[in-house]
Amino acid sequence: MPLAAIGQIRSTSSPTSNLIQCLHLVTLAFRASASALFLPEASDYIAPNATTSLSICQPLATSPFVQGLRTAARTHSLPICVGVHTPSPTNPNKVCNTLLWINASGAIAAQYDKLHLFDVDIAGGPVLKESASVERGTQLEDPLATPLGKVGLLICFDLRFPEPSLALRRRGAQILTYPSAFTVPTGRAHWETLLRARAIETQSYVIAAAQCGYHDEGKTRRSYGHSMIVDPWGKVVAELGGVDEEIEEGSGLNEGEIALAEIDLEVVERVRREVPLMRRTDVYADVV
């Protein structure tokens, strides 16, 4: 049975350092005989502000980070799913939050731009407005055939919306991805609950590689971690550590590590067969 590997990193504003982290995880996944490696959202960099992000962001064709991972995928014959930034095609003052599927030949086989942007103002928590510097995506991409099965690409805040996951399931997805950089308050409150909900309602595997720890020396931004894989019955079958109240910063984060889980498409088919979801589209609209 094919193995999925999830990798957990702590991106900074240095794409070079972040590439080194990711290449280490590629090596670990290869040694574990994984069929694909899933890396977090914004693996190339997490910048302290929009101006820095614009100065760092590069087109896919010239990005040393992307080209480095393409070479690694080709060298190890290992597909890599990775979140990066790309220049907005319509607004020179914004970037796109993009998810790539790099196949075993090192080619970019699929590209998805995040539909839902993270604009929040939580009392006593983070105040973030992703839409100020990121251009929204405009479409869902059809599920991609991979060594693991048919994969539907989604990113982080997309997790809060059931409609895109249901639409991808309708289009044939057997696996959904949610590479993320969840904040600590929202992670503690909703991360596992939402991942399991998306798996249960779509009867699909959910693979969610996450950022973890502080991203800057000033400790102004921190991610929750807890990368995980959930099976179609809603069971967590792989998980890495993360930021918890009882864990001191720097311990238990599993930064620079991977977790593995078998992807059994027979389980997908069995769950869908035994608990058929007969939608009442005569009463409410279907999601397409």
Active site residue 212: no
For residues 179 and 38, the answer to whether their CB atoms sit within 8 Å is yes
Catalytic residue among 114, 150, 212, 255: 114
Active site residue 129: no
Active site residue 274: no
Q: What is the DSSP letter of 137?
A: P
Pick from 136, 182, 138: which is nearest to 159 by CA?
A: 182
For residues 25 and 256, the answer to whether their CB atoms sit within 8 Å is yes
Token reading at 262: 């078998």
Q: Catalogue the E-assigned strands of the chain.
A: 3-8, 36-38, 80-87, 95-102, 108-113, 119-121, 127-129, 134-135, 144-145, 150-153, 175-177, 205-208, 212-214, 222-224, 228-230, 236-239, 257-262
Catalytic residue among 57, 156, 239, 255: 156
Q: What is the DSSP letter of 6?
A: E
Burial 62-96 (b: 16+ CB within 10 A, else e): ebebbebbbebbeebebbbbbbbbbbbeeeeebbb
Catalytic residue among 41, 141, 239, 255: 41
Q: How far apart are CA 138 and CA 206, in angstroms?
A: 23
The torsion angle over the Cα atoms of residues 90, 94, 97 and 103, rounded to 10 degrees, is 60
Q: Tally Cβ neighbours within 10 Å of residue 271.
A: 18
Q: How far apart are CA 255 and CA 233, in angstroms?
A: 28
Could you list the active site residues? 41, 114, 156
